[in-house]
Amino acid sequence: MEAMILAAGKGTRLRPVTDYIPKPMVPLHGKPLLEWVMLYLLSYGITEYVIAISYLAEQIENYFGDGSRWGIKIEYGRGASPAGKAGEVWRCQDLLKDEERFLVVPGDTICHLNYREFMEFHDQQGGMVSVALSTQYRLEVGLAEVDSDSRITAFLEKTNLNRPVSTGPYLLEASIFSYIERFNPSRNEVDLPGDVFPVLLREGKQINGFVQDYDWWDIGRLNDYEALAHMPPQRAELILYGGGKHVTDASIF
């Protein structure tokens, strides 16, 4: 199985850092963010990658090359401008055409998802799409419970949402391409959850939700990036690489 990594965006939430480097290349404890994402996937035995690139793409391609430095294979899907999640998938279809299914992973998110269990879940459930969902999402605002007399009965400061939240990874069957094409992705930005998934649901196609209690970090915001960048190295490595304690079994993929 190939993993497609979304790395084409402009990273506007990380400006001014991303005025000069693409978001996947922002440095974190001696490595660019995208390398940490890839090392975590590699620890699960995933060795073939397609990276969707656009904004300042040459920096990503010059650093990672063909992947031989890590003992992996990397190919690139290029575009003049970002095309949205679904648009990037469609743009890379020639590189993914031999795959019955493939993994899609954001290039700006660290998540401690068990990819082996995610794949097994997708195979058992069937369906065109599986979405990785975590119950670990802490709100950045306080919640209040208000009764009918407008009196606050409880106040929860930055509590855990305790509902499944999409963290970015998807498992997609190759049949998804025909649905993306309906949106004319060569001319329009097309999103997966915003545009394509609602169509699948309306037409009765099966979308699975893999719910697991795992931690994840969106590095796309400046305050989150700075917090991780200034974290003690040992603690940061546990987050960025998940400790690297996975049992590699490439045969699963």
The pLDDT tens digits for 25-50 are 988 888 898 999 999 999 899 999 99
According to the model, what pLDDT value does residue 136 have? 67
What are residue 204's DSSP bridge partners? none
Least confident piece of the model among 15-29, 104-118, 173-187? 15-29
Sign of the torsion formed by the C-alpha atoms of 70, 25, 9 and 246: positive
Residue 137 has pLDDT above 90, yes or no: no
Least confident piece of the model among 128-137, 154-163, 173-182, 222-231? 154-163
236: pLDDT confidence band, cut at 50, 70 and 90? confident
**Alpha-carbon gap, residue 181 to 190, rounded angstroms:** 9
Q: Which of 55, 12, 60 is nearest to 38 (CA)?
A: 60
> Running DSSP on this structure, what letter comes out for residue 58?
H
According to the model, what pLDDT value does residue 3 have? 93
pTM, full prediction? 0.83
In tens, the pLDDT along 44-62 reads 999 999 999 988 889 999 9
166: pLDDT confidence band, cut at 50, 70 and 90? confident
Which one is predicted more confidently, 9 or 157? 9
Q: What percent of the chain has pLDDT over 90?
A: 49
**Alpha-carbon gap, residue 187 to 190, rounded angstroms:** 9
247: pLDDT confidence band, cut at 50, 70 and 90? very low
Rounding to the nearest 10 degrees, give the CA dihedral for residues 114, 116, 120, 125: 40
In tens, the pLDDT along 99-133 reads 799 999 999 888 889 999 999 999 999 999 999 99
According to the model, what pLDDT value does residue 184 have? 93
What's the angle, vertex CA 113, arms to CA 40 and CA 139, rounded to 5?
A: 115
| Domains, in order of start, for the chain | 3-134+162-252 (3.90.550.10)
